[in-house]
Each structure stands twice: as structure tokens, then as C-alpha cells.
């Protein structure tokens, strides 16, 4: 190859790498305590069974991810099982691989993990995504449709106090007028 062709090839490769990095900038995996994927907190104040949803957002093209769920030292929930509409290998406690069987673009719920709560988790404990056995510690391993990459872990706050602001009864009543 001529030097000009080498340069053109290098420019194309740099553009592809930059595009892949830019497209992945918003991609993330998050944990939710509700099916509508709006609540990043969990209150463990009474014995009950809860579902935790693991969702991937804004993927420009992924065939699957590998991760595990890990409770902080103060989290006392007991894992009961996992369900997923995708093909899975393993479980969310030891390490699970979720395979989409296609090149997924966009967002999807990867997994629903069920836990028994006892109302005993410590204040501001957490449940988080972290590496499975093949990944870098703290990282979720995913497979772009033709290459591998890592996403940072995410956590679900358990029994963390919600910040409040002082108000008056008049302001509260004004909300409903």
C-alpha cells in the first residue's frame, strides 16, 4: 500500500473508533426497584419479596452483556432467582451472561432478579452491578456486535434517606389548588 492509502485507512479507523466511543457515551446499565424503570431506590423496612430490574439503555448495537449483582455489607436481602426474556447462562449472584440473539439497538430490560427482604438492611446500603468472573473489577462486560467493551457498574440505594426541604402548610395547600 502507498503512504497515501495507509493515511486514508488510518483516518477511516480513527473515525470508526471515535464514532463507537461517541455512540457509547450515553450507554448504561441501571438497576430499578419498579417495573416502570423510574425508581433507583429501595426501602427495606418490612419483610416482603421484591423484584429488581436490570435494564440497558441507549446501546448503539450490542449482542449481550455479562455481569453480577452484589449487595453491600449492610444489604440483608436474600436472592431467590432470576428471570429474563433473553437467553442466559449462569445467575446474577455468581455471574450471568445475557445474550440477545441479535444485534440490539436501543434499550431493553435484561433481567429481573427476585429478593426476599426482611426489613433489616442497614441505612444507605446498596445492591450494585459489578464484574462477572471474566471482567475488570467493577465493570460490566458487553459485546458490541463485533467487539467487546466495558461499562461502569451501577447501584440501587437501599434505605437511604430522601432529602427534604422546609416548607409551610400554605405551600403544600397551594400545590393542590
Q: Would 5 be classed as within a structural domain?
A: no
Report pLDDT for 13. Answer: 32
Query: In this predicted model, what pLDDT tens digit does every residue of 43-94 receive, in sequence order?
Result: 999 999 999 999 999 998 999 999 999 999 999 999 999 999 999 999 999 9
- Cα gap 114→50, rounded to integer Å: 6
Q: How far is CA 34 from CA 4, 5, 166, in A?
A: 56, 53, 28
Please indicate, yes or no, if residue 168 is contained in any of the structural domains. no
Q: pTM to 2 decimals?
A: 0.75
Q: Would 18 be classed as within a structural domain?
A: no
- The answer to the question of residue 11 being in a domain is no
Q: Does 35 fall in a domain?
A: yes
C-alpha cell at 162: 430522601
Three cell numbers at 138?
467493577
Residues spanned by the domain of 31: 26-162
- Confirm whether 88 is domain-assigned: yes
Number of domains in the chain: 1
Q: Is residue 173 part of a domain?
A: no
Tell me, yes or no, whether 15 lies in a domain: no
Assess contact for 98 and 111: CB atoms under 8 A.
Answer: yes
Instruction: Round to the nearest angstrom and report the end-to-end CA distance of the chain.
Output: 75
Check residue 6 and give its pLDDT.
34
Local confidence pLDDT in tens for the 177 residues of the chain: 554 443 333 333 333 333 344 445 688 999 999 999 999 999 999 999 999 999 999 998 999 999 999 999 999 999 999 999 999 999 999 999 999 989 999 999 999 999 999 999 999 999 999 887 666 666 788 888 867 778 877 889 998 875 545 566 666 566 566
CATH of the domain at 93: 2.60.40.680
Amino acid at each position: 500500500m502507498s503512504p497515501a492509502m495507509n493515511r486514508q485507512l488510518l483516518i477511516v479507523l480513527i473515525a470508526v473508533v471515535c464514532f463507537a466511543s461517541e455512540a457509547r457515551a450515553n450507554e448504561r446499565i441501571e438497576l430499578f426497584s419498579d417495573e416502570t424503570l423510574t425508581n433507583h431506590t429501595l426501602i427495606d423496612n418490612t419483610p416482603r419479596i421484591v423484584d429488581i430490574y436490570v435494564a440497558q439503555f441507549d446501546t448503539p448495537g450490542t449482542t449481550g452483556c455479562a455481569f453480577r449483582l452484589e449487595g453491600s455489607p449492610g444489604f440483608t436481602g436474600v436472592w431467590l432467582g432470576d428471570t429474563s426474556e433473553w437467553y442466559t447462562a449462569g445467575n446474577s449472584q455468581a455471574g450471568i451472561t445475557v445474550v440477545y440473539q441479535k444485534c440490539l439497538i436501543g434499550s431493553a430490560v435484561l433481567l429481573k432478579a427476585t429478593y426476599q427482604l426482611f426489613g433489616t438492611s442497614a441505612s444507605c446500603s446498596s445492591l450494585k452491578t459489578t464484574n462477572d468472573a471474566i471482567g475488570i473489577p467493577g465493570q460490566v462486560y458487553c459485546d458490541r456486535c463485533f467487539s467487546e467493551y466495558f461499562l461502569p457498574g451501577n447501584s440501587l440505594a437501599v434505605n437511604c434517606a430522601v432529602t427534604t426541604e422546609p416548607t409551610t402548610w400554605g405551600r403544600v395547600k397551594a400545590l393542590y389548588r
